[in-house]
Amino acid sequence: MKTYLARRLLALIPVALGVATLTFAIIHLVPGDPVVAMLGETAAPADIVGMRHQLGLDRPLLEQYAAYLGGLAVGNLGESISYRKPVSQLIAERFPATVELAAAGMLVAILLAFPLGLIAGSNPGGAGDLGAMGFAIVGISVPHIYLGPLLMILFSLDLRWLPLTGRGGLAHLVLPAVTLGTALAAILARMLRQSLIRVRA
C-alpha cells in the first residue's frame, strides 16, 4: 500500500509540472498587456515601465518561468492583478464556500443515487431499471455549463423560487448543488446497480 501511494505521489510531479508550464504558457500567449489592463490605456509610459519592472515582466522569459516555478514550490502564488491581493489570500477567502458547495453537491448526489441505484438493481431490465438508468444517462450527458443556466432560468427567473446569485442560506445552495450533484449521482447510481446485480447473481 505504501509503495502504491509513493508511486502515485511521484506520478503527480510531472502532471503538476505540466499543468504549471501550460498555465505559464497560456498567460504569456493571451493577447494584451496585463500592465496596461491594470493601469489603463491613458497611463504614462514611465508608470507602465515601472509596473512591468515591479512585476518582473521585463526579465527574460526563462527567468520569469524559473521565478514562477520557484514561487509555486514554496507556496507563493503571487499577487492577483485584478484584486491587488495575494492569490493565496483570495483562495483562502473563497475556500469555505468551495467546501460548502462540494459538500452540498455530494449530498445531492447521494440522495439521488441511492434510490435510483436500488430501484434499478432490484429489478434489472424492468421499468424502474430503465427509468433510473435513463435518468443516469441524462445526468451524465447534460454538461454543467448548460444545466446550470437552465435551472437558473426556470427556478430563479421564471418561477422565482430560488435566488439567482450570491451566498447565503440553504436556498442559495440548491441550484449549484443540484447542478454539481446530478452527474455524480448518475455515476454512483450505475455503480450501485452493478453491485446489487453482482450480489444477486
Where is pLDDT greater, at 107 or 131?
Answer: 107
pLDDT given for residue 103 in this prediction: 92
CA pair distance 7, 54, nearest whole angstrom:
40
Q: Are residue 172 and residue 133 in the same domain, yes or no?
A: yes
> Is 176 a domain residue?
yes
Q: Are residue 50 and residue 126 in the same domain, yes or no?
A: no
Q: Are residue 57 and residue 101 in the same domain, yes or no?
A: no
- Decide if pLDDT at 191 tops 70: yes
Single out the residue in 24, 50, 76 at which a domain terminates: 76
Contact indicator for 182, 139 with CB cutoff of 8 Å: yes
Range of lowest pLDDT (20-24, 33-37, 97-101)? 33-37
- Decide if pLDDT at 1 tops 70: no
pLDDT mean over 142-162: 85
* pLDDT bracket for residue 201 (50, 70, 90): low
- Decide if pLDDT at 37 tops 80: no
pTM: 0.68
- Decide if pLDDT at 13 tops 80: yes
pLDDT given for residue 106 in this prediction: 92
Phi, psi of 86 (to 5 degrees): -60, 140
> Is 85 a domain residue?
no
Q: Are residue 113 and residue 192 in the same domain, yes or no?
A: yes
- Decide if pLDDT at 39 tops 80: no
Task: From residue 153, give the alpha-carbon distance in Å to each of 67, 110, 139, 169, 170.
Answer: 45, 25, 18, 20, 19
Q: What domain count does the chain have?
A: 2
Contact indicator for 112, 183 with CB cutoff of 8 Å: no
- Decide if pLDDT at 108 tops 80: yes
> Is 81 a domain residue?
no
> Is 50 a domain residue?
yes
- Decide if pLDDT at 14 tops 80: yes
CA pair distance 186, 169, nearest whole angstrom:
26
> Is 89 a domain residue?
no
pLDDT in tens, 62-103: 888 988 888 888 888 877 777 778 888 888 888 988 899 899
Across the chain, mean pLDDT equals 83
Domain extent for 191 = 94-200
* pLDDT bracket for residue 135 (50, 70, 90): confident
Q: Are residue 111 and residue 166 in the same domain, yes or no?
A: yes
Q: Are residue 108 and residue 156 in the same domain, yes or no?
A: yes
CA pair distance 152, 161, nearest whole angstrom:
10
Single out the residue in 34, 50, 76 at which a domain terminates: 76
